């Protein structure tokens, strides 16, 4: 089965073709970073309009790269939530309309399920069951995964997601959008001994997260070290970025180890935009090796939003006999536990 995947949940237009027997055939991604950079964050209306401009040309590009025609598409999968409602509507309407025109099935895919299953696109995918750390700009969750659609939420952020905290710290440090990668890059130049930031909620029982207090601590540290001109010297800026990143990473690592030990499992999957963070990957690998556990993740280009993960996730549900009717449904908020098992 050849499935066209369409991802338009936020500020990236992702298109891919996945074959259930041959694997990923082709994929393309257009990022709106430059469009939103001058505003310091995503402007929903601009995001929706740009998806309208980019989705169809990217579909044609992917088909050309795969050497296929529209008639060779066997099914269409599109992101139906969670995300920005206007952006979701673009992909959903195009996907549903194309499927109808081709007389092939269509299915709306949960955005976070796509992220969770992205490591399955790698040569050595994880086996079920495992613990998943879903960590992005909008989500920080620990989930027990016993199969596709078999999800048990173990813990989540009570306030800011880790990616959102990175973006806010970047603004405090005067860094450009998008903030997360900028903080990570700057942190490489920092002295990891100068500042010691708190690891929020690690001494509390359970697996929930909270990054609002760390955000406040970061702001206070920034303000305390500004010069008379209200600026940070470059080294102090890098040292704060380093301390902030280490605090977030350490918190995530501690909670992941706790989740694995609580559930008696030895496999961890990290997914979502923040899973591309090199420090997080390295520290998780080191920490889990000590308890003889393994960590799995997607290649960097499949950590952020992309069409390949949507095509793969949709293909698995389509192969199980699931498909949507003609009604186009978008779900800006959509708990993953509501998904059916296959």
Please enumerate, by residue number, every residue annotated as part of a binding site for substrate: 134-138, 167, 180, 277
Binding residues: 111, 115, 134-138, 167, 180, 277, 305
Q: Which two tokens stand for residue 117?
A: 């299953």
Distances (CA, A) of 160 to 2, 18, 216, 317: 38, 34, 12, 31
Burial 151-173 (b: 16+ CB within 10 A, else e): beebbebeebbbbbbbbbbbebb
Q: Which two tokens stand for residue 121?
A: 């696109």
Binding residues for Fe cation: 111, 115, 305
Cβ–Cβ < 8 Å for 208, 156? yes
- Interstrand relation of 140-147 and 150-156 (parallel, antiparallel or unpaired): antiparallel
24 class by beta-carbon count within 10 Å (0-12 exposed, 13-18 middle, 19+ buried): middle
Which strand (E) or helix (H) includes residue 153?
strand 150-156
CB atoms within 10 A of CB 287: 18
Three-state secondary-structure class, residue 290: coil
Cβ–Cβ < 8 Å for 96, 25? no
Phi and psi, residue 293, nearest 5°: -115, 165
230 class by beta-carbon count within 10 Å (0-12 exposed, 13-18 middle, 19+ buried): exposed
């Amino acid at each position: 089965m050849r499935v066209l995947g369409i991802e338009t949940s936020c500020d990236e237009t992702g298109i891919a073709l996945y074959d259930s027997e041959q694997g990923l055939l082709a994929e393309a991604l257009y990022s709106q970073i430059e469009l939103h950079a001058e505003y310091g964050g995503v402007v929903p209306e601009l995001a929706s309009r740009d998806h309208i401009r980019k989705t169809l040309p990217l579909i044609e590009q992917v088909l050309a790269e795969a050497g296929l025609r529209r008639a060779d598409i066997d099914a269409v999968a599109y992101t139906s939530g969670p995300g920005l409602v206007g952006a979701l509507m673009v992909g959903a309407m195009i996907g549903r309309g194309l499927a109808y025109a081709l007389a092939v099935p269509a299915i709306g895919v949960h955005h976070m399920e796509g992220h969770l299953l992205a490591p399955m696109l790698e040569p050595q995918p994880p086996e079920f069951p495992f613990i998943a750390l879903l960590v992005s700009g909008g989500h920080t969750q620990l989930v027990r995964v016993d199969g596709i659609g078999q999800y048990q939420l173990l813990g989540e952020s009570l306030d800011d997601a880790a990616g959102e905290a990175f973006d806010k710290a970047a603004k405090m440090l005067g860094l450009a959008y998008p903030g997360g990668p900028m903080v990570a890059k700057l942190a490489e130049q920092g002295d990891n001994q100068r500042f010691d930031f708190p690891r929020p909620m690690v001494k509390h029982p359970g697996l929930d997260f909270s990054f609002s207090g760390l955000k406040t601590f970061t702001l206070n540290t920034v303000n305390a070290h500004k010069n008379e001109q209200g600026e940070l010297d470059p080294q102090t800026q890098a040292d704060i970025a380093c301390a902030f990143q280490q605090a977030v990473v350490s918190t995530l690592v501690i909670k992941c180890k706790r989740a694995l030990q609580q559930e008696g499992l030895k496999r961890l999957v990290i997914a979502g935009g923040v899973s591309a963070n090199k420090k997080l990957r390295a520290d998780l690998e080191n920490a889990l090796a000590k308890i003889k556990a393994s960590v799995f993740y997607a290649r960097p280009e499949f950590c952020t939003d992309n069409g390949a993960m949507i095509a793969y996730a949709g293909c698995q549900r389509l192969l199980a006999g699931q498909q949507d009717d003609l009604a186009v449904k978008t779900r800006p908020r959509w708990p993953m536990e509501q998904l059916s098992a296959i």
